[in-house]
Every structure is written in structure tokens, then in C-alpha cells.
Amino acid sequence: MKDGDSSTKPVTRKRFVDWLLGTSAGGFLAAVFYPVARYIVPPEVPEASVNSVTLAFAADDVPSNFGRIFKFGTRPGILVRTPGGELRAFSARCTHLDCTVQYREDLSHIWCACHNGHFDLNGRNIAGPPPEPLQVFDVNERGGQIVVSVRS
């Protein structure tokens, strides 16, 4: 221990320690609260939910006798406006070998290009290899927005 040193030394040393403590404590608080603050800010991507999804396009964008593919969580869905003007939605994954189905305006029903599978506007497999109907979703329209949800 260097107790015999001049009395100014411990004072500058003490100042340095206080300074070091003060700045690093400030830095530490910043390092803790910066991530927390960023965490609390809601992310831009809306939260994905498996149960329902609000489509990125408006109801007006879908004329009658027309179909559009959308993303439903981690799988594709297909939104169809029937020639009668009604909106319907199905899983767009073909029940045969998982190709993405499409709407055929000339046939007014859903069709899978991979092996010529046909589905009617209730999602039922009416021709070709698909062994099962397409999964049917519920469609709701709120102020021009389309909300598709799993049928419970």
C-alpha cells in the first residue's frame, strides 16, 4: 500500500474512479434500456396468426368470376369471387400433391395445373386425381377489407 504518497494522488484517483463508475453505469443503463425500448416498439410486420389474416388487397380488387392467391400464415390460400358475386376462400394447396391451385375463369371453378385436378366453388374435388376437397376458410368483409379465417 502506498499510503505515504502525497495527498493529491488519492483525490485524482478517486475522481477517476467516480468518473469511470458514472460513465460506465450510464453506458450500462443505455445497453439495457436500448434493446428493451426497441423490443417494446411494435414491429412493422403485423403479427402472423394462423387463425385469421387480413388480406393485402381490397374487396374491390377482386371482380366477379376471378380468383387471387394470398398468404395464409405459412401456406397459400385462394380467394374467389363467384360469378354470383360472393367471396369465398380456400386453402390453395392441392390435396393431391401440394401444387398451388388457381381459378379458371373459363370454367368458373378452381383448377390444379399439375394433374388437371378440378374443384368446385365449394372446394369439393370434382374431377382428376385430388382425393379430398380443399380446406374451406371463412371470409368476412369489413369496410372493403377482407378477413379470412379458419372455419372453426
Partner 1 sequence: MTDGTGPGSRARGAIGRFASWLDDRIGLSAIMPVLRKKEVPVHRHSFWYYIGGMALFLFLLQIATGILLLFYYRPSAEGAYESIQFLMAEVEFGWLIRSIHSWGANLMIFMAFVHMFSVMLLKAYRAPREITWITGVGLLFVSMGLGFTGYLLPWNELSFFATRVGTEIPGVVPVVGPFIRDVLRGGEDVSGATLTRFYALHVSVLPALAFMLVALHVLLVQRHGMSVPPSIEAEGGPRRSMKFFPQFLLRDLVGWLAALAMLAAAAAFFPAHLGEKADPFAPAPAGIQPEWYFMFMFQTLRYLPAEIMGIEGELVGVGAFGVVGIVLLFVPFLDKPKGPDAKPGKLWTWLTFGALAYILLFSYLGYTFDPNA
Partner 2 sequence: MRVARHLWLATLLWLLPLVPTAAQTLPSSDACRDCHLALEEESLVAPARAYERDVHAETGFGCLACHGSGGTNQLNPAAGFLAAPERREIPGMCGRCHSDAVFMRQFDPGLRVDQVQEYWTSRHGELLQDSNDPDVATCIDCHPAHEIRPADDPASTVHPSNILSTCGRCHANPARMAAREIGTSQVAEYTGSVHGQLLLEEGDLSAPVCNDCHGNHGAAPPGLASVRNVCGQCHSVMADYFDDSAHGQIFEEADLPGCALCHEHHAIESVDDAALLARSEDVCLTCHEPPDTLGLEFRRIAAVLDTLNRAAEASRAILEEAENVGMEVSQALFELEDVGNAQTRAHSAIHTFQVAPVREQVAAGMEITVRAAERGREALDEHRFRRLGLGASASIILLLIIGLLMKIRELERAEDTS
Residues that bind ligand FES (CB under 6 A): 94, 96-97, 99, 112, 114-115, 117, 128-130
Give 44: exposed, middle or buried? Use CB within 10 Å, 0-12, 13-18, 19+.
Answer: exposed
Assess 58 for contact with partner 2 (CB under 8 A): no
Residues in the chain: 152
Residue 43 touches which member of ligand FES, partner 2, partner 1, none, C-beta under 5-8 Å by kind? partner 1
- What the block records as the C-alpha cell of 90 is 380456400
Assess 65 for contact with partner 2 (CB under 8 A): no
Assess 11 for contact with partner 2 (CB under 8 A): no
Q: Which residues bind partner 1 (CB under 8 A)?
A: 18, 28, 35-36, 38-41, 43, 45, 47-51, 73
Q: How far is the CB of 109 from ligand FES (least distance, A)?
A: 14
Q: How far is the CB of 51 from partner 2 (least distance, A)?
A: 17
**Alpha carbons 55 and 71: distance in angstroms, whole number:** 8
Closer CB to partner 2, 47 or 60, in the complex: 47
Cα 12 to Cα 9, 17, 24, distances in angstroms: 5, 9, 18
**Alpha carbons 33 and 38: distance in angstroms, whole number:** 8
